[in-house]
Amino acid sequence: MNRNEMTKNLYFREFKCGLSIKQTAELCFKSVTTVKSWDKGKTIPPECKRLMRMVSGRELSNGDQWNGFEMVHDRLIIPTGQKASPQQIIIGLSLLECSTEADLRVIRNILKISMAISKIKNMGT
């Protein structure tokens, strides 16, 4: 591997997961040499990749219903790419607990407006 080249595996380990070679080796019960071979392009075993994602907080669960969800810093990234703060999640759950017909109409309107705002914001990027 050229010093100026960066493989997908190296990028994944170092930048996405924030793990050093030694941390990865210890986490996956592999040798430093094995991890270095992954950095050069050899396939990372799926179970090791999953461990790396889980320990770095990038994967929430191994349940199918969480596919596409990940944590990046202090935000939950949902499969659509939207980022949610803890406060936004709490507000959303609180709104869902509303049970009167008037409350449900308000919730529907809020969701329509927020989706429209999101579309407008995404048009500028």
**Residues in contact with 98: Cβ distance below 8 Å, sequence separation at least 6, in sequence order:** 104, 106, 107
Question: Can you list the positions of beta strands (E) in the chain?
Answer: 70-72, 75-77, 83-84
pLDDT digits (tens, 9 = 90+) for 3-61: 567 899 999 999 888 899 999 999 999 999 999 999 999 999 999 998 898 888 766 67
Q: Which amino acid is at 19?
A: L
CA 87, CA 96: separation in Å to the nearest integer?
14
Q: How many Cβ atoms from other residues are within 10 Å of residue 83's Cβ? A: 12
pLDDT value of position 4: 60
Does residue 65 register a pLDDT over 60? yes
DSSP, collapsed to helix, strand or coil, labels residue 57 as coil
pLDDT value of position 8: 94
Q: How many Cβ atoms from other residues are within 10 Å of residue 57's Cβ? A: 13
pLDDT digits (tens, 9 = 90+) for 78-124: 888 888 888 888 888 777 776 677 777 887 888 888 878 877 877 76
CA 1, CA 10: separation in Å to the nearest integer?
11
pTM score over 0.95: no
Task: Return the residue matching tokens 């409350």.
Answer: 103
Is there a contact between 56 and 69 (Cβ–Cβ < 8 Å)? no
